[in-house]
Amino acid sequence: MADSYLKAVNSGVTKTLAKKLGLPRPAVLRRWAPGQPLTTGPVLVVGGRPGVEDDADRVAAALLGWDLDVRQVPAGSTPDPALRWGAIVAVMTEAQKPTDLSETVLAIGANLRNLAGNGRVVTISRATVAGDAPALSATRNGVDGFLRSLAKELRGGATGNGIQLTEAAQVGDPSVLAALHFFLSSKSAFVDGQLLKVGDGPSWDATDFDWTRPLAGRVAVVTGAARGIGADVARTLSRDGAHVVVVDVPAAGDSLARVANEVGGTALQLDVTAPDAGARILEHARARHGGLHVLVHNAGILRDKLLANMKPEKWDAVIAVNLDAQLRINEYLLGANGFSENPHIVSLASTSGIAGNRGQTNYGFSKAGVIGHTRATAPLIAAVGGTANAVAPGFIETDMTASIPAIARQVARRASSLQQGGQPIDVAEAIAFLASPGSTGVNGQVLRVCGQNLVGQ
Amino acid sequence: MATSKNQTTPPAAEAVIVGGNRIPFARAGGKYSSASNQEMFTAALEGLVARYGLQGERIGEVVGGAVLKHARDFNLVRESVLGSSLSSQTPAYDLQQACATGLEAVVTISNKIKLGQVESGIAGGTDTVSDAPIAVSEGLRRALLAAGHAKTLGARLKAFAAIRPADIAPLTPSTDEPRTGMSMGEHQAVTTATWGITREAQDEIALASHQHLAAAWDSGFFDDLVTPFRGLTRDQNLRGDSTMEKLAGLKPVFGKNLEGTEPTMTAGNSTPLTDGASAVLLASREWAAERNLPVLAKVVDAETAAVDYVHGHEGLLMAPAHAVARLLTRQELTLQDFDFYEIHEAFASTVLTTLAAWEDADYCRTELGLDAPLGSIDRERLNVNGSSVAAGHPFAATGGRIVATAAKLVAERAAETGRPARALISVCAAGGLGVAAIIESAADGSVSTGSTSATGSTSATGSVSTGSTSATSTTGTEA
């Protein structure tokens, strides 16, 4: 979907005009392309203490392993005005009291003017846990408010996101590094102002890991894959090396076949609300591809109505497709021990399920329900070495949002820190990350892909 | 693949049916009115490729055709392959045997697989009456050719001068029999009257066709046999709410001038003109296993017959009666040895005249050369998921529709009962042609005899024990 405003403020005389008038100027976001460097420039690591082997050093070492130009600078130093940081990584894991972080956040601030367009700020801290001393809890929770506020100050397509270590997770853990890799890369273009909890899930060997084909040899099933976000998810998982089974209702079979043929996968015409949907998905994945590693619950429908006018069929259809089908399929697959080793379930939630949306009581219920079952499924699937997570898209440019009236659409687009709608590929990239072996430490989480939409958390 | 005589003779290679795909059939002038044969057949292939993950695969051969065909479509099937996601190294050729085109393509490919000449093949067909070729008159054609050959302006003008006003009228394709000038419907009306088939019996067949097809759609039977095309998600001609009363209200359209008879054939119990395409994936068992593909059935045997409807007394569409008789004799089977009968409904009465002929001792003796009549069939096993009266009949596409449906039916039945299931297919065609084929369920291990020498009516129970034991002992990929 063309965002003509975004084009206008980024080119020609309208660009100058928009600048002079002080109009919102959404940036053209950098998105992933083959062979692209991970960041647009050198990476600054802040938060380290001189002369001590600390977490900041461990992070810097990992970044060096990715062939990045990594720098650590003394506190209070002023950067070269010509320098453009591709990313600033702030390591805050060892802070015990609020004042411990002053130096680190001010170091970020001193370098913000040198952050490149589409640059990245990533904080790495520890999540609060029960039993934290008040000062420790304050410190850790403070990062949350700091990061979200900072993300709102960034411009030019730059984003700010945080990794929160839980349990015994350490900064050098493969899962932590995988999350860092995702947030630094252009694959997280529309993820902004988010804090992702990363635990010490099942061990995962990152040695010689091929970051260009993280899903090599894995079998992925994507529901609702005939068009929109689902089709892009199928393309992205295929790009990352997965054998993809695309699923959609029989009536969408022609576009489903096109997607299957494009990604070299197989098409399964199936209504996910069918009582035996789980069994048929498993049978197909096993018989044709030898297993089932990744399940993306993307199929979803809208039947918007104010609750006062809600017809039973409109309520029921949304709950059946968006929520009940996911529950039933998960229950079957977990019950039948249907998943192969280290499985990943990724379900589509929505910001409507977090913040609510007028006219979407049914949709909001279903999407909040998805978040609920994702949290509850997490420990169940962890028992077999897997993860269950959700992705909550905000305003994404699809056929669905193209049908929103023009003015409302423009308002919705600008109501985020990135001042634009996301693309289906942005949602697909987040799903691909959560479906990859690197995400084993991320479980029961909801990752928003919303450009830091102003609604909800 | 040659096997030397002094080795243990391996069982003859099998040709198995992996699955099929078709687009929903549209009424003439309906949803596909601007779709060409090539577009439709490509769509059928693409759905098949998507279902079985055949992207970039070099298939042994793709064989199919169209009955109503443009001159530009001389390489219709190869061009469709080139426009598909199959490997461009997949050979293809066109085949045409009127309404039996699709079934003949299945037979041809299965024979090549059994011979070891190819490991895999796609058989199918496509037809459009909406996008049918229109030719110029013979007079105009000769004038245009003469003008093309002319060396001088004068000679060219002279050639054009030979055109008469009547030559300007285009020639639309006709399904009339060239040798009799009678339409197929009029031919069948004669046969219908000869066998005394009633209007009510025909309407019952038509109603069952609609009801069975509608039920099959509702149950999801076609979820893995059909891929929508151009916004059509079900067969357009299907009327699941049809009733005997509605059918009884229709005026007869064929046989109205047959002396001494009441016309019985209506638009309701005849097949409508239809657009559509179908494709069936066949392979050797090994080829399918290497690609983790399912195996629904195997093609056991087939027979083609032709009758003399021009000089003789036989009905135009009676050839399948002969083909089936010869096929049963060769296979040492009786007409009753089948779980399913798929008899193409060119007209409801075609099914009924064929069944009547098999029950008629006199006919079976004099026409089919049999000592005893073939007998009657259990009508509960006839066209159980509907046939052409309801689905429509895009001529060359019908064979693929029937074979894929029958293959899935026998596979499901065998899975339910644990015993092999068998289907008899018969398709009549213009020119007094008819093709019959036998297919048998062939899930791994369920039929272990390999070759086709089943012994009469006991064969089904005879191979049960071997079937189920080998099914438990092997895990899908023998060989």
CB spacing of B51 vs A267 below 8 angstroms: yes
Secondary structure (3-state) at B372? coil
Minimum Cα–Cα distance from A247: chain B residue: B51
pLDDT at residue B192 in the model: 95
Instruction: Specify the CATH architecture of the domain B16-132+270-467.
Output: 3-Layer(aba) Sandwich (3.40)
Query: Percentage of chain B with pLDDT > 70?
Result: 90
ipTM of the complex: 0.89
What are the structural domain ranges in chain A?
31-198, 219-449
pLDDT above 50 (res B340): yes
- Residues of B within 8 A of A266 (CB-CB) are 50-53
CA distance B222 to chain A (A): 9
Q: Over chain A, what HEC string results?
A: CCCHHHHHCCCHHHHHHHHHHCCCCCCCCCCCCCCCCCCCCCEEEECCCCCCCCHHHHHHHHHHHCCCCEECCCCCCCCCCCCCEEEEEEECCCCCCHHHHHHHHHHHHHHHCCEEEEEEEEEEEECCCCCCCHHHHHHHHHHHHHHHHHHHHCCCCCEEEEEEECCCCCCCCHHHHHHHHHHHCHHHCCCCCCEEEECCCCCCCCCCCCCCCCCCCCEEEEECCCCHHHHHHHHHHHHCCCEEEEEECHHHHHHHHHHHHHHCCEEEECCCCCCCHHHHHHHHHHHHHCCCCEEEECCCCCCCECHHHCCHHHHHHHHHHHHHHHHHHHHHHHHCCCCCCCCEEEEECCCHHHHCCCCEHHHHHHHHHHHHHHHHHHHHHHCCCCEEEEEEECCECCHHHHCCCHHHHHHHHHCECCCCCECHHHHHHHHHHHCCHHHHHCCCCEEEECCCECCCC
The tens digit of pLDDT for each residue in B165-192 reads 888 877 777 778 888 888 899 999 999 9
Q: Is A265 left (phi over 0), alpha (psi -120 to 50) or beta?
A: beta
The chain-wide mean pLDDT, for chain B, equals 89
User: Residue A144's CB: how many other CB atoms inside 10 A?
Assistant: 17
**Fold designation for A219-449:** Rossmann fold (3.40.50)
Q: Does B104 touch chain A (CB under 8 A)?
A: no
Burial A257-270 (b: 16+ CB within 10 A, else e): bbbbbbbbbbbbbb
CB spacing of A254 vs B229 below 8 angstroms: yes
CB spacing of B50 vs A260 below 8 angstroms: yes
Between residues 107 and 136 of chain B, which touch chain A (CB distance below 8 Å)?
Answer: none
Same fold, A31-198 and A219-449: yes
pLDDT at residue B456 in the model: 38
pLDDT at residue A319 in the model: 97
Catalytic site positions of B: 99, 393, 428
Considering only CA atoms, give the Rg of chain B. 23
pLDDT at residue B180 in the model: 87
pLDDT at residue B37 in the model: 96
CB-CB contact of B227 with B43 (8 Å): yes
- Residues of B within 8 A of A219 (CB-CB) are none
CB-CB contact of B90 with B58 (8 Å): yes
CB spacing of A269 vs B55 below 8 angstroms: no
CA distance B275 to chain A (A): 17
* CA gap B252, B393 in Å, rounded: 20
Choose from B49, B86, B293 for mutation: most chain A CBs within 10 A.
B49
Closest by CA position to A248, among listed A229, A238, A264, A239: A229
Closest by CA position to A347, among listed A434, A277, A268, A426: A434
pLDDT above 60 (res B474): no
Considering only CA atoms, give the Rg of chain A. 22
* CA gap B452, A157 in Å, rounded: 70
Nearest Cβ partner for B223 among A258, A260, A269: A269
Identify the active-site residue in A363, A365, A395, A433: A363
| Total residue count of chain B as it appears in this document | 479
CA distance B292 to chain A (A): 5
pLDDT above 70 (res B4): no
| pLDDT, average across residues B433-454 | 68
Superfamily of A31-198 according to CATH? NAD(P)-binding Rossmann-like Domain (3.40.50.720)
The tens digit of pLDDT for each residue in B119-155 reads 999 999 999 988 887 778 888 888 888 888 888 888 8
CB-CB contact of A313 with A362 (8 Å): no
- Residues of A within 8 A of B46 (CB-CB) are 257-258, 261
Which tops the pLDDT comparison, B329 or B454?
B329
- Residues of A within 8 A of B408 (CB-CB) are none
Secondary structure (3-state) at B244? helix
CB spacing of B294 vs A287 below 8 angstroms: yes
CA distance B279 to chain A (A): 15
Nearest Cβ partner for A251 among B46, B53, B233: B233
Closest by CA position to B411, among listed B5, B19, B6: B19
Q: Which residues contact B57 (CB under 8 A, 6 or more apart)?
A: B49, B86, B87, B90, B120
Whose tokens are 């193409």? That residue is B344
pLDDT at residue B454 in the model: 38
pLDDT interval class at B9 (50, 70, 90): low
A143: Cα separation from own chain's centroid: 19
Residue stretches of chain A with pLDDT short of 50: none
The tens digit of pLDDT for each residue in B217-254 reads 999 999 999 999 999 999 999 999 999 999 999 999 99
Cα–Cα–Cα angle for B230, B405, B434, rounded to 5 degrees: 100
Burial of B179 per CB tally in 10 Å (0-12, 13-18, 19+) = exposed
CA distance A234 to chain B (A): 13
Query: Percentage of chain B with pLDDT > 90?
Result: 74
Secondary structure (3-state) at B60? coil
CB-CB contact of B21 with A261 (8 Å): no
Q: Which two tokens stand for residue A176?
A: 């932590």
pLDDT at residue B302 in the model: 98
pLDDT interval class at B459 (50, 70, 90): very low
CB spacing of B50 vs A266 below 8 angstroms: yes
pLDDT at residue B10 in the model: 57
pLDDT interval class at B447 (50, 70, 90): very low
CB spacing of B227 vs A261 below 8 angstroms: no
Choose from A219, A256, A261 for mutation: most chain B CBs within 10 A.
A261
User: What 8-state DSSP symbol labels residue B333?
Assistant: -
Nearest Cβ partner for B55 among A254, A264, A290: A264
Q: Which residues contact A185 (CB under 8 A, 6 or more apart)?
A: A32, A38, A39
pLDDT at residue A405 in the model: 84
What are the structural domain ranges in chain B?
16-132+270-467, 141-168
